[in-house]
Chains A and B, each alone.
Chain A
Amino acid sequence: MNSLIKLELTRALRNRKFLFFSVIYPSVLFLLIAGSADSTTVVDGTGLTLPTYMMVSMASFGALTAVLMGNSERIAKERESGWVRQLRLTTLPGRGYVLAKTASAAVVSLPSIVIVFAVAAAVKDVRLDAWQWLALTGAIWAGSLVFAALGVALGYLTSGDAVRPVTMITYFGLSILGGLWMPTTTFPAWLQDIAKWVPTHAYAALGQAIERNQAPHAQDIVILAVFFALFTGGAAWLYRKDTLKA
């Protein structure tokens, strides 16, 4: 299976468009949003400065892009082209394909997180303790698995022309509703009530809690765990259905 992971990675690293959107774009967006803010402006109700707040949002957004966009479209396409069938004629275990996809997405998502951190520290003077940087990287990286599972599920749910719009709607919906692009505190109250149940909101909240030197809220962890179970369960179910049909 390592050989497939290696090849998936080679391919991902060769695809400039994908690399730009998942690795560079979140940092660019960070600079656009936080660029003009001074380092003392505090985001309402968070106790964090805008650059600090947006750093976690954009790192989460970058990881989301890498794991969601990379997986769903490719899986849908490769299911259709018959590559998935061809792989089933090799010794690769059934889940190997999905695991290789997820692993290679995780490798691409790591630099997108780290680059946002580096840009935030260098350009906007975001300062945190060493353990906080490490914990942030770990939490955002591990949390991205929830959305990797969603990407796999979408790849098995949709096919052909439908996969891109479905992925895009999910992606933008999650990014905006979860407050990755602008703090949810700027939303009207009714929308804030919805937003706090969105998994990307809980995802970014993990990082923000670390920045505030606090333990993550139990509610956020439960939300992420429930969505993770839901997405992996859904992906597994759809995968099995697809395998029987193939």
Chain B
Amino acid sequence: MAVMTTTTAPAVGFDRVSKTYGDVRAVDGLTLALHPGETVALLGPNGAGKSTTLDLLLGLKQADSGTVRVFGTAPREAIVAGRVGAMLQSGGLMDEVTVAELVALACALHPKPYKLSEVLSRAGVSQIAGRKVDKLSGGQAQRVRFALATAGDSDLIVLDEPTTGMDVTTRQAFWATMREQADQGRTVLFATHYLEEADAIADRVLVLHRGRLLADGTAAEIKAKAGARRISFDLEGEIDEPALRALPFLTAVDVSGHTVRVQSADADATVHALYGLGLYPRNLEVAGLGLEQAFVALTTAEEAKTK
């Protein structure tokens, strides 16, 4: 039985996990499972509970109730077994030592370490290996943190806002490296507020809001769930706004001058009804929502519900 649980256990399992600070519920009855090999983005506005969720997952904080399991064991056990590599947003570095010395320490502490030179080059810090840690730029420090998180052969890599402080080129190189990690069968979980990163990289997107899971699916599914499509068109003459608002399946309406922009859960039906009003819309466009708009739509809908 013991063998069964270790081989079939999800990489990460949260079962009705709650964590409260004072009267703020940072994480509220969160249940989720990440499967080995998935690349998962954790999205949410500030204060949604992303960092607390990652802290609970890494055993840095203890849940008030519920259980957190990593590969079927307690988080600390998974870390000691070398199965987890993590890069914290708030993870400081030891100063007055060189990059190479610090990364060598991470290798020495990992049960299944890679070669130092390998780790340095993968993280793109070979050139600055001899530099003192306290003399690094923000982006360089991020790459050193990444090197620490990938010093050994871990099965799960957890990254909290990993590309903060990186320029566009470095960011692209970073995600290319990250994809390699994922292609080798690792589970990758990253929190980000760059929605295009979630859209481009993650197989699965978790949207957190007020400590609860608001949406869980592929980026495409999340966009669909958020009210799907955006329709825009121009109308000549007087605009009969009440009539437009009465169109079916609308989730948002915006009229400015002669231009009308709406969001619809069923764009076909909405457009059909629009013609049914006897109008002649010009420059009609129907487009999918970006993940960013979907995200905003989801969280504002939730805000409205809780108010």
Contacts and interface: CB of A to CB of B under 8 A. Distances in A.
Interface of A: 3-4, 7, 10-11, 14-15, 78, 80-86, 88-92, 244, 246
B108 A81 contact: no
Nearest to B86: A89
A86 B86 CA distance: 8
B101 A7 contact: yes
A3 B90 contact: no
Given A90-B109, A90-B110, A91-B80, A7 B94 contact: yes
Contacts of B278: none
A14 B80 contact: no
A7 B93 CA distance: 13
Interface of B: 58-62, 79-80, 82, 84-86, 88, 90-97, 101-102, 104-106, 108-111, 145, 148
B62 A86 contact: no
Contacts of B108: 3
A90 B79 contact: yes
Given A11-B96, A91-B111, A85 B101 contact: no
Contact of A85 (B91, B95, B106): B91
5 contacts: A11-B94, A83-B93, A86-B145, A91-B110, A92-B109
Contacts of B102: 7
Given A244-B62, A246-B60, A85 B88 contact: yes
Given A90-B110, A92-B109, A10 B97 contact: yes
Contact of A89 (B62, B79, B111): B79
A3 B96 contact: no
A71 to B, nearest CB: 14
Contacts of B79: 89-91
A160 B60 CA distance: 22
Contacts of B88: 82, 85-86, 89
Contact of A246 (B61, B104, B145): B61
A10 B82 CA distance: 26
A10 B86 contact: no
A78 B92 contact: yes
B59, B82, B92, B110 — most chain A CB neighbours (10 Å):
B92
Given A78-B92, A91-B110, 15 more contacts: A3-B105, A4-B109, A7-B97, A11-B97, A14-B96, A15-B96, A81-B92, A83-B91, A83-B92, A83-B93, A86-B88, A89-B60, A92-B109, A244-B62, A246-B60
